[in-house]
Amino acid sequence: MNMSFEFDRDFTSTKNPGYDDCKSESFDHENSSTRSKVWHAGMLTGDRILQAIDEGDITITPFDKSRINPNSYNLTLNPELLVYSDEILDFKKKNNTKKLQIPESGLVLYPNTLYIGRTNEKCGTDKFIPLLNGRSSVGRLGICIHITAGFGDIGFDGTWTLEITVVKPVRVYPNIEICQVSYLTPYGERSIQYAGRYQGQIDATASRSNIDKKVYR
């Protein structure tokens, strides 16, 4: 089946519809011989993120309005990092870590090391799909802020874990604006509630792959 994605709004328009108007729907594609479904999805603008915060549909704590972007919000780096102290990591065991503290003078990060960090901000939403990405200036320094976990779940509430790797040695500082969160409108009904291993996390958190997530339901 030929699947494709289209936006249901003209985002080049200066008109900003309310996010409740950004409904996701599907229909048969008239130009496809297989009549595949096309999904309509939308990303919230900065104005709509502010509206959602005012109405309680998105929470970001602490919140600073100066960090809002055209379609995202900048999040900052907490000074505490974790690194694994085990030479070989094990998916079914709790792996040992040690803490690093980023001083005001900065800390040099090195290639071939995974640094587990977190945002200062605690974020949550029961209505939208959060999407985390690095900022452009951060990426241009060769800093990756996540490896595979860029999407968040509807219903997650906590700080964002950052899986930080670097291409070259680079000095970072506490509380820098290191990443940005955007919000997508979901498609379909939602009967499954988030019950993951990391719900409510605050501190930098290593992998909990060894824990059955059912204990969190």
Helices (H) and strands (E) in the chain, counts: 2, 14
Residues in contact with 106: Cβ distance below 8 Å, sequence separation at least 6, in sequence order: 171, 172, 173
For residue 6, indicate whether it is catalytic.
no
Handedness of CA 189, 191, 197, 198 (dihedral sign): positive
Q: Give the list of residues 6+ apart from residue 56 with CB closer than 8 angstroms, or none.
A: none
177 closest CA partner among 216, 145, 151: 145
Burial of 148 (0-12, 13-18, 19+ CB in 10 A): exposed
Catalytic residue (choose from 6, 30, 104, 163):
163
Asked if residue 58 lies in contact with residue 181, where contact means CB atoms within 8 angstroms, the answer is no
For residue 159, the cross-strand partners are 122
- Name the residue among 45, 95, 34 with its Cα closest to residue 73: 45
Give strand pairing partners of 183: 130
Q: Which residues are catalytic?
A: 163
